[in-house]
A and B are shown apart, each in its own frame.
Chain A
Amino acid sequence: MINLLTGVNSTASALNAERIRMEVVSQNIANANVSNYQDGQPYQRQVVRFETMLNAQAGQSLTGLAPETTQVARVEKDARPPRLIYDPDNPFSDANGCVAVPNVNIHEEMVDLITASRAFEANLAVVKSARNLALQTLAIGKRS
């Protein structure tokens, strides 16, 4: 692929990663109250872990250190135990009258959502800037 936009690999992978994170957050929020998700177990909150990958392709003659793309390493389940709520009338309550409710904290999810969308917008700004740089470069030496 012709290398017109600088750093576009990093940005593209970040946009992808943040989008996945937002999807996971919205799934958490949607299932925040599901006590019987699978096999009688409540829904377990899912968390996205990011990691970086050295961008081997950006071996331009200019760089010493290669820029790093980000990648969603894994979507894993949050290990915290579900909360127990005393609700004897609930059909899913156990012997003690407690219902296991998912360990999803709405406030945490909202903060995650805002952080993810902030990072997404920042990367969009980078792409827009890269496009401007390319257009300016192509205009070198042009008479108006």
Chain B
Amino acid sequence: MDALSLFRMVRPDAALSAYLPAGIQLPPSKTLAPKDLEQLQPAAAPLPSPVARPAETSFADTLSRLVDEVGHKQQAGAAAVNGLLSGQNVPLHQAVIAMEEASVSFQLMVEVRNKLLESYQELMRMQV
């Protein structure tokens, strides 16, 4: 993937910025107008036409879906432990496994967040 396509994917989006620490704003896309970049790029073969994809979900949608699913997993784990503690005959192994799965899912989400931040910071470090 060349730099032009990568920049095309980065769009300021209200939902995405909600996941970043406060005070950090994504740069508005106007400073990276695609047509300007095209002028900078040396004459090259046209990009191959993209393969027809189904209705494109933005990365922000994917991310919010991830957060929702992790939330559901956490709720399921908490419900299982609740059932165990209140004597509702939830088997011990089901509660333990539910907690572990919730923990692994959460860890996944945290790592995704870390990688996003790292890549954002790397982008910001790049010289224009």
A interface residues, Cβ below 8 angstroms from B? 1-4, 6, 57-62, 134, 137-138, 140-141
Contact = CB atoms under 8 A, between A and B. Distances in A.
27 contacts: A2-B84, A2-B85, A2-B87, A3-B84, A3-B90, A3-B91, A3-B92, A6-B92, A57-B89, A58-B89, A59-B89, A60-B89, A60-B91, A61-B89, A62-B91, A134-B92, A137-B92, A137-B93, A137-B96, A138-B92, A140-B93, A140-B96, A140-B97, A140-B100, A141-B96, A141-B100, A141-B103
Interface of B: 84-85, 87, 89-93, 96-97, 100, 103
Q: Secondary structure of the A side of the interface?
A: loop
B59 to A, nearest CB: 31
A62 B93 CA distance: 12
Given A140-B97, A140-B100, A141-B100, A4 B89 contact: no
Contacts of B85: 2
A89 B68 CA distance: 94
A60 B92 CA distance: 11
Contacts of A57: 89
Contacts of A134: 92
A4 to B, nearest CB: 6
A59 B87 CA distance: 12
Looking at B89, B90, B97, B100, the one whose CB has the most chain A CB atoms below 10 A away is: B89
Contacts of A6: 91-92
B96 A138 contact: yes
Nearest to A142: B100
A140 B103 CA distance: 13
A140 B89 CA distance: 20
A126 B87 CA distance: 22
